[in-house]
């Protein structure tokens, strides 16, 4: 099958890039251009024609990549046409008329690259992350993972574990050999070292995932205190409806922001109060679960609504800053705050002190992202498999020295499988290879 797709963004642009990958690429390029076939990897200006009618379609820069030296590993073409909708549409119509040629599915070029072993799973994911990156931090993280920093570490752990497994397999397969009876101390020490390194990697406060997905800030508080006003102020637009009526916001309103290069998802939520209105009550539940889920909560109050113990549970309290809005109305002294946190007093109406809230967010962000340089985990998928790997290593290390080797080998096998899944490599041959190496000692 040969696939094609517009690889540059949709809409009008100076240049549009259409990619074609697959066995028919060469044939297609011969059919839609005239004259000499372009040299490999050399930008060539060509007239594109409709092979059915000989109609002139556009002038384009044509690039020919012969597989496997291409992004997908297959024969590939890039057509850099003028970026009009009509040109792109016409080319799509021409391409769909070729036999066994269809439009690509989302991510299919990268999937082919992975399947053809041009890239591993981590690199495939980080290419996706780089394309989606909206902030400096996200771009840097995607590039770091793309460069192979995480793959190298995972692969080296995996290699060590495969080596250890090979040794144990050798004992199972050749019990009569002159091998020490116990699982050697050195082998255990090596595995112990990997275990410690994995623990350090896991102990990262999920920074990589937070950079990728955005730092979640939730604005929570009683109705009518100015939560939506704060969201609008921070996002510099009318993202949420503001009204003097209490209970205006029902759904969660989300805005993506870039504060000092940090990716942030800020959520405005329904004001929290007892309500008989079913929809409002659902909004309140949603608000509380958002706050529990957030990386940081701005608990917003106003002088008339200083009570928040109703929703300030332990999941929310630890990651909250308290902000009292409407300072222009004067503060009531008679109300004591029920949290041992110093509140920030602001007025959105008079634009007072809001920079203090922003500074507070920034300082939390800086703390969170302090050690982004040694981050290896950027998705919960990686974390899950690394945790599983750690679990099986632990179980291996707990096995008594002279205990059943079969069980110890199984622990290692599972730990290898999980770590292999992160980079997309689960290969029985490799384990067999490692056994074979051992087999070769004198045999
Ligand atoms: N005096 C004064 N009024 C404000 C200030 N900030 C917001 N308001 C007003 O307070 C009212 C409620 O504002 P919203 O932003 O809708 O409040 P909310 O917390 O989102 O309310 P709900 O969505 O109903 O929970 C509006 O009339 C705002 O104009 C302020 O600093 N001072
Ligand atoms: Mg609101």
Report the distance separating Cα 238 and Cα 240, nearest Å: 6
> Can you give the pLDDT at residue 414?
94
Report the distance separating Cα 329 and Cα 310, nearest Å: 24
272: left (phi over 0), alpha (psi -120 to 50) or beta: beta
> Can you give the pLDDT at residue 175?
67
Calculate how far, in angstroms, residue 246's C-alpha sits from the geometric centre of ligand 1: 9
327 secondary structure, DSSP code = G
By C-alpha distance, which of 209, 216, 143, 204 is closest to 365?
216
| Predicted confidence (pLDDT) per residue in 300-319, tens digit | 999 888 877 777 778 888 88
> Can you give the pLDDT at residue 223?
94
Report the distance separating Cα 33 and Cα 47, nearest Å: 6
Is residue 259 scored above 90 in pLDDT?
no
Q: Which two tokens stand for residue 117?
A: 């072993």
> Can you give the pLDDT at residue 40?
96
What are the strands, taking DSSP E only, across 211-289?
A: 215-220, 253-259, 262-268
> Can you give the pLDDT at residue 32?
97
Cα separation values, 37 from 21, 33, 72, 90, Å: 17, 8, 21, 22
Bridge partners (DSSP) listed for residue 216: 265
Is residue 438 scored above 50 in pLDDT?
no
Calculate how far, in angstroms, residue 107's C-alpha sits from the geometric centre of ligand 1: 44
Calculate how far, in angstroms, residue 277's C-alpha sits from the geometric centre of ligand 1: 21
Instruction: Give the nearest ligand 1 atom to 347 CA.
Output: 31
> Can you give the pLDDT at residue 182?
62
Percentage of the chain exceeding pLDDT 70:
91
> Can you give the pLDDT at residue 70?
96
Q: Which of 219, 222, 224, 267 to mutate to test the pocket of ligand 1 (most atoms within 8 A of CB)?
A: 224
Q: Which residue's C-alpha comes closest to atom 7 of ligand 1?
A: 226
Number of C-beta neighbours around residue 34 at 10 A: 11
| Predicted confidence (pLDDT) per residue in 98-153, tens digit | 999 999 988 889 889 988 989 888 888 888 889 889 888 899 999 999 999 999 99
Domains of the chain (ranges plus CATH)?
2-113 (3.30.1360.120), 149-204+377-439 (1.20.120.430), 211-368 (3.40.50.300)
Is residue 2 scored above 60 in pLDDT?
yes
Model confidence at 184, pLDDT cuts 50, 70, 90, reads confident
Residue 383, C-beta contacts closer than 8 angstroms, at least 6 positions apart: 202, 206, 209, 377
Is residue 331 scored above 90 in pLDDT?
no
Counting ligands in written order, which one lies closest to the CA of residue 330? 1
Instruction: Give the nearest ligand 1 atom to 223 CA.
Output: 25
349 lines ligand 1 (CB under 6 A): yes
CB 166 within 8 A of CB 240: no
223 lines ligand 1 (CB under 6 A): yes
CB 366 within 8 A of CB 351: no
CB 396 within 8 A of CB 187: no
Model confidence at 183, pLDDT cuts 50, 70, 90, reads low
The residue assigned the tokens 């009509």 is 86
Model confidence at 441, pLDDT cuts 50, 70, 90, reads very low
> Can you give the pLDDT at residue 440?
34
Judging by beta carbons within 10 Å of its beta carbon (0-12, 13-18, 19+), is residue 170 exposed, middle or buried?
buried
The pTM for the full model equals: 0.77
The residue assigned the tokens 């696939």 is 3
Is residue 181 scored above 70 in pLDDT?
no
Bridge partners (DSSP) listed for residue 5: 19
Residues 165-176: what's their mean pLDDT?
A: 79
Q: Which of 16-30, 195-209, 395-409 has the lowest mean pLDDT?
A: 395-409
Is residue 221 scored above 70 in pLDDT?
yes
Q: For the chain, how many helices (H) and strands (E)? A: 15, 12
Q: Which residue's C-alpha comes closest to atom 1 of ligand 1?
A: 326
Task: Give the H/E segment covering residue 20.
Answer: strand 13-21
Is residue 239 scored above 90 in pLDDT?
yes
Q: Edge to edge, what strands does the sheet with 76-83 contain?
A: 44-49, 56-65, 76-83, 13-21, 2-6, 101-103
Is residue 172 scored above 70 in pLDDT?
yes
CA angle 413, 417, 421 (to 5 degrees): 175
243 lines ligand 1 (CB under 6 A): yes
Q: Which of 223-227, 330-334, 411-415, 435-439 has the lowest mean pLDDT?
A: 435-439
Q: How far apart are the first and last CA of the chain?
A: 47
Counting ligands in written order, which one lies closest to the CA of residue 323? 1
Residues 209-236: what's their mean pLDDT?
A: 94
Q: Which two tokens stand for residue 293?
A: 């889920």
352 secondary structure, DSSP code = B
Is residue 437 scored above 50 in pLDDT?
no
Residues 378-403: what's their mean pLDDT?
A: 89
Q: Higher-confidence residue: 2 or 182?
A: 2
> Can you give the pLDDT at residue 435?
39
> Can you give the pLDDT at residue 327?
92
Helix or strand or coil: residue 272?
Answer: coil
Give me the DSSP letters along 57-110: EEEEEEEEE-TTSSSSSS-EEEEEEEE-HHHHHHHHHHHHTSTTEEEPPTTHHH
| Predicted confidence (pLDDT) per residue in 339-375, tens digit | 567 889 999 999 999 999 999 999 888 887 776 678 8
Report the distance separating Cα 226 and Cα 224, nearest Å: 6
Q: Which residue's C-alpha comes closest to atom 8 of ligand 1?
A: 226
> Can you give the pLDDT at residue 430?
52
Average pLDDT over the chain, rounded to whole? 88
């Amino acid at each position: 099958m040969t696939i094609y797709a517009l690889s540059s963004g949709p809409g009008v642009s100076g240049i549009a890039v259409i990619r074609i990958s697959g066995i028919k690429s060469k044939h297609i390029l011969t059919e839609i251009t005239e004259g000499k076939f372009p040299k490999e990897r050399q930008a060539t200006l060509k007239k594109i024609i409709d092979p059915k009618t000989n109609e002139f379609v556009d002038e384009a820069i044509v690039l020919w990549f012969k597989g496997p030296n291409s992004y997908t590993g297959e024969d590939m073409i890039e057509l850099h046409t003028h970026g009009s909708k009509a040109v792109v549409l016409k080319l799509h119509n021409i391409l769909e008329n070729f036999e066994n040629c269809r439009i690509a599915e989302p991510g299919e070029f990268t999937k082919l690259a992975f399947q053809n072993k041009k890239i591993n799973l981590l690199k495939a994911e980080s290419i996706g992350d780089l394309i989606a990156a909206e902030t400096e931090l996200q771009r840097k993280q995607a590039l770091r993972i793309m460069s192979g920093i995480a793959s190298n570490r995972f692969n080296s752990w995996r290699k060590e574990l495969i080596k250890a497994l090979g040794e144990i397999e050798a004992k199972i397969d050749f019990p009569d050999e002159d091998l020490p009876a116990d699982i050697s101390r050195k082998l255990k020490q090596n595995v112990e070292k990997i275990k410690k390194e994995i623990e350090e990697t896991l102990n990262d406060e999920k920074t990589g995932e937070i950079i990728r997905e955005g730092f979640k800030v939730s604005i929570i508080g009683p109705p009518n205190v100015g939560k939506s006003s704060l969201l609008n102020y921070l996002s510099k637009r009318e993202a949420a409806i503001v009204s003097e009526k209490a209970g205006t916001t029902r759904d969660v309103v989300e805005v993506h922001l870039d504060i000092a290069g940090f990716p942030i998802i800020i959520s405005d939520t329904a004001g929290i109060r007892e309500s008989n209105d079913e929809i409002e009550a659902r909004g309140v539940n949603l608000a509380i679960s958002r706050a529990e889920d957030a990386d940081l909560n701005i608990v917003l109050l106003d002088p008339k609504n200083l009570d928040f113990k109703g929703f300030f549970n332990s999941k929310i309290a630890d990651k909250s800053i308290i902000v009292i809005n409407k300072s222009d109305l004067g503060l009531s002294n008679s109300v004591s705050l029920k949290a041992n946190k110093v509140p920030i007093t602001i007025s959105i109406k008079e634009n007072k002190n809001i920079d203090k809230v922003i500074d507070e967010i920034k300082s939390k962000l800086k703390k969170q992202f302090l050690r982004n340089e040694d981050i290896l985990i950027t998705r919960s998928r990686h974390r899950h498999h690394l945790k599983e790997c750690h679990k099986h290593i632990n179980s291996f290390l707990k096995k008594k020295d002279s205990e059943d080797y079969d069980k110890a080998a199984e622990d290692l096998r599972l730990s290898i499988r999980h770590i292999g899944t992160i980079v997309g490599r689960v290969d029985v041959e490799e384990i067999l290879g490692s056994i074979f190496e051992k087999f070769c000692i004198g045999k």
